[in-house]
Amino acid sequence: MPIARSSLTGAAAGVVLLAGAVGFGVGLPEIVEDSDASASADLPTLPDKLDDRFVALSAVTPELGGAKTAEEISQMEAFADQATKSEAEATERLRGLYGDVALRSYLDVPATTATDQQTRPAQFAVTVVAGDAGLVIPSGPFQIDQQGTHYELKEIGGHNCSLIWSDPVDPTTGAPTGAEPTGASYQVECRAERDGLTYDLYSSGLTPDEATYYLDLVLDSTAG
């Protein structure tokens, strides 16, 4: 089954969705005037594919999306082109703030083709810049623990992370169900530092443990 038009529309806007989220880019090391550190940074090439689940938005092909007809193939090609354009625009904006930057956005491709899809497919953006990791406090330093909404700063797997999540609710009544939150409930940002570079992962639709797993996978896939 090919990726549905609705899924394509949402996924193609993935970079916009992630970049527009509260806290995206907050705390990344800004350019220091008269310093050539950012200019000389040897940034990694972020991979097209991390595993069988997550593929870079700009690298999603008609084959991966299960496109069969000429119309479906055209949609998939337009999707990849739009993702490439969005990533280029985001990279240019961030470069003005942080110097050289490597950026890619990844999509849970199997979820977009699932026949029982109930939520938006998980996605995340990876941003790499020169400098120390800095603070990860996209919504400030204070914990929020209110009915329906939560915000917590936490170390997970050796990475500093920000967790924002909502309580699961009954889709009919809107009342809290008391169930444990799933990945669809979360927005998670985690950050790592290696060899003078900051690796930032901002996700929508991943649990905290999944977010740190994929941050580690990015580090492994870009190791020299």
Successive 10-residue mean pLDDT values, the chain, 224 residues = 44 43 51 47 92 94 85 88 93 93 94 75 96 92 92 96 94 88 95 96 97 98 90
pLDDT the model gives residue 24:
44
Q: Could you give the CA distance from residue 147 to residue 200 in angstroms, rounded to a whole number? A: 29
Q: Could you give the CA distance from residue 16 to residue 3 in angstroms, rounded to a whole number? A: 19
Per the structure, the count of domains in the chain is 1
| DSSP E strand boundaries for 35-169 | 54-56, 101-108, 123-130, 144-146, 149-156, 159-166
Q: Tokens in use for 38?
A: 């950012």
pLDDT the model gives residue 35:
44
CA 199 to chain CA centroid, nearest Å: 12
Q: Tokens in use for 53?
A: 């689940």
Q: Where does 99-224 have alpha helices with state H?
A: 109-112, 208-221
Those residues whose C-beta lies under 8 Å from the C-beta of residue 67, and which sit 6 or more positions away, are 2, 3, 73, 75, 76
Q: Residue 83 belongs to what domain range?
A: 5-221
Beta bridge partners of 122: none
pLDDT the model gives residue 43:
95
